[in-house]
């Protein structure tokens, strides 16, 4: 593809106007090593100037941009893009790295407001990491932290994920009849994985189902499933992404995720459930396959690209089309905000960075105060806040310990 044509595709992607065919082209093109240098230079220079040109003081902005571009024009990095379950993750992650490093981190618009440095006092804010608390069937609790290993007769953890063995490989010493009894005593055989604020973790259940758990999440599940019987887990609260082992590998047994009064039934698929305890809405987003969402006698089947919304305050169940990559970007290490309200963005950030947020300027709480951008979860909080400030969503901010004050 010619540079002119790929340039159009890149622009459409960065402005979130790319269709499925565009994404197919970009996801293949971006993985060719020699194309990465062109792509990086293009994003750094052309995209900066294109966005800046919408501002009134064009000459001054262009002068400021050219100074920055001259300063770093020889600092071209090669970016290694890892594979993921998402078809377009390679392109998305590369854009995130480039945009957050070169575009969002810089204060593009050099005005008096942005030159006012934020007040930083005893900054104690740290980005999230892999950590969880495992509650065994005995009631014993185990802290799982990155870099530390842990093992039971049923599972093992490397500090980033915990993997349960299939029932036949668990190494239990009971007789077959006694083992069967234990399998059916699900209440006594449940484990619970709790992810704190500032944490994330991965889990592989005994049936091979993979689960990604977001900050402030709790999942209850059996140590092993009974072959041929419905596989059930409970998302007590929080957010989790499921890649379910198909029913064809388990004698037709379906898989169910219970939460509050909602039930999600699947045969083998990928989906995300967001059900935080301090929110009235429970969102189920289908990535692949098919699920049935049931709530208060209502039932809705979802197809890929759809999201159900259960409002527990009004007892309603609705379905709408959504951008799946935005709803599930958290598991890829990305915050993807599509004109999201600032107060909702700060809720997301508060869970990952384990912070408190104070809106000194109460007008910022309005639904019409939004921010649109793609940011990496491994960035320091100041880079995130500088990006929001550069967009003029806020005029400034302060950090006091683990509290952020927005102005």
Tell me the DSSP string of 235-302.
EEEEEEEEEPPPGGGTTT--EEEEETTEEEEESS-EEEEEE-TT-SEEEEEEEES-EEEEETTEEEEE
Enter the pTM of the model.
0.74
Q: How many CB atoms lie within 10 A of CB 82?
A: 9
Closest CA to 373 of 10, 40, 14: 14
DSSP state of 114: H
Closest CA to 16 of 88, 83, 104: 88
Any alpha helices (H) in 153-220, and if so which ranges? Answer: 176-184
The two tokens of residue 82 are 């890892």
Domains in the chain, please, with CATH?
Answer: 3-110 (no CATH), 119-125+333-406 (3.55.50.30), 129-327 (2.60.120.1440)
DSSP state of 196: P
Round to whole Å and give the CA distance between 159 and 349: 23
Using DSSP's 3-state secondary structure scheme, residue 359 falls into strand
Residuewise pLDDT in 10s, the chain (407 residues):
666 677 677 666 655 566 767 777 777 776 676 666 666 555 544 444 444 443 434 445 445 544 544 544 444 333 333 333 344 444 444 444 444 433 444 444 444 444 689 999 999 999 999 999 999 999 999 999 999 999 988 999 999 999 999 976 655 433 333 333 334 444 448 999 999 999 999 999 999 999 999 999 999 999 999 888 999 999 999 999 999 999 999 999 999 999 988 999 998 899 999 999 999 999 999 999 999 999 999 999 999 999 999 999 999 999 999 999 899 999 988 888 888 999 999 999 999 999 999 999 999 999 999 998 878 888 899 988 988 998 889 999 999 999 999 99
Q: How many CB atoms lie within 10 A of CB 278?
A: 7
- Beta pairing class for 231-243 and 210-213: antiparallel
CA atoms lying within 13 Å on the CB side of residue 244: 30
The two tokens of residue 60 are 């001054």
Contact 179, 166 (CB under 8 A): no
Element spanning 130, H or E: strand 129-135
Any alpha helices (H) in 99-175, and if so which ranges? Answer: 112-115
């Amino acid at each position: 593809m010619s540079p002119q044509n790929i340039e159009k595709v890149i622009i459409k992607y960065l402005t979130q106007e790319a269709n499925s065919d565009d994404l197919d082209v970009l996801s293949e093109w971006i993985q060719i090593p020699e194309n990465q240098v062109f792509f990086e230079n293009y994003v750094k220079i052309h995209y900066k100037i294109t966005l800046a040109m919408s501002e009134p003081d064009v000459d001054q902005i262009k002068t400021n941009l050219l100074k920055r571009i001259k300063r770093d024009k020889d600092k071209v990095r090669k970016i290694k893009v890892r594979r993921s379950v998402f078809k377009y993750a390679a392109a998305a992650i590369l854009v995130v790295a480039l945009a957050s490093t070169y575009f969002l981190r810089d204060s593009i618009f050099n005005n008096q407001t942005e030159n006012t440095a934020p007040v930083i006092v005893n900054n104690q804010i740290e980005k999230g990491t892999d950590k969880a608390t495992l509650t065994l069937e005995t009631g014993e609790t185990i802290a799982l932290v990155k870099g530390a290993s842990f093992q039971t007769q049923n599972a093992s953890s490397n500090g980033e994920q915990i993997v349960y063995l299939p029932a036949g490989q668990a190494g239990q010493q009971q007789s077959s009849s006694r083992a069967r009894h234990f399998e059916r005593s699900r209440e006594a055989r449940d484990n619970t994985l709790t992810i704190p604020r500032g944490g994330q973790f991965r889990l592989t259940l005994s049936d091979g189902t993979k689960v990604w758990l977001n900050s402030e999440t709790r999942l209850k599940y059996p140590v092993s499933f009974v072959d041929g019987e419905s596989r059930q887990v409970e998302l007590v609260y929080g957010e989790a992404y499921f890649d379910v082992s198909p029913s064809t590998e388990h004698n037709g047994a379906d898989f169910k995720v219970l939460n509050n009064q909602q039930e999600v039934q699947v045969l083998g698929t990928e989906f995300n459930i967001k059900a935080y305890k301090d929110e009235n809405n429970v969102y189920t987003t289908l990535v692949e396959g098919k699920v049935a969402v049931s709530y208060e006698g209502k039932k809705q089947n979802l197809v890929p690209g759809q999201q159900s919304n259960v409002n527990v305050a009004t007892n309603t169940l609705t379905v709408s089309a959504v951008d799946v990559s935005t709803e599930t970007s958290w598991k890829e290490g990305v915050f993807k905000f599509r004109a999201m309200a600032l107060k909702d963005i700060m809720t997301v950030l508060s869970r990952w960075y384990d912070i408190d947020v104070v809106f000194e300027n109460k007008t910022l709480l309005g639904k019409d105060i939004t921010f649109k951008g793609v940011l990496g979860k491994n960035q320091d909080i100041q880079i995130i806040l500088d990006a929001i400030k550069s967009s003029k969503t806020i005029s400034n901010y302060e950090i006091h310990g683990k509290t952020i004050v927005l102005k």
